[in-house]
Amino acid sequence: MLNDSQARTVLADAELLFAADEVQHAVRRVAQAINATLADQHPLLLSVMGGAVVFTGQLLPMLDFPLDFDYLHVSRYGNDKRGGELHWKVAPRENVTGRVVLVVDDILDEGETMHAIKQRVMELGAAKFYSAVFADKNIGKSKPVHADFIGMELPNRFVFGYGMDIHGAWRNLPAIYAVKEH
C-alpha cells in the first residue's frame, strides 16, 4: 500500500492515457452494445470486486432491461503488479444455474482470471456466459478468453484509474493513467 505522499507522487509522475470524457464515452458504447445483445434475456450480472466497482456502478444505470445483480471476488494480483495464484474470496453462487450470466470486470489483462471465472460459472450450470470489461490490455499474445464487450483497448503498460489500482491507490480516478516508462 502507498502512503498519501507516495500515491500523490505516482500520480504526478504518471502519463494520462485517456481523459475522463473518453472513459465515459467508452462506458456508453459498452452499455449500448449490452442493451442490444441482452435486452430480452433477463441476465444475472456478476461484478468482479473490487476493480469493477467503478465500471459496474456507472454501467448499471445505462442498462435498460431487467437483470439480477450479484458479485464475486477473485484476485490474482493483490497489491502486486504481476499476476500470481488465483484466490477466490467470494465464488459465484449456485444462483447461476440455467441463467444467462454477464460478468463485468475492470480489465482483461492476461485473461487468466476471466477464464477461471467463466469455467466456474459454466460448471455451476449457467446457460450462457458473456463478459464485459472496461479495458482490454494489448499484451501481444493470445489470451485464453476474449471479452464480449470492451470499453477500450490499452497498451501493454501498468495502468491505473477508473477502478484499476496501483498498490491499492487511485481506483477512484475518472481517467486512465500509466506509470511512466523509464
Query: Which residues are identified as catalytic?
Result: 109
CA 105 → CA 7, 63, 66, distances in Å?
23, 16, 20
Query: Number of C-alpha atoms within 13 angstroms, CB side, residue 30?
Result: 31
Sheet holding 159-160, edge to edge: 15-18, 176-178, 159-160
Contact 98, 127 (CB under 8 A): yes
Interatomic CA distance for residues 170 and 96, integer angstroms: 32
What does the block give as the cell for 122?
459454466
d(CA 107, CA 154): 9
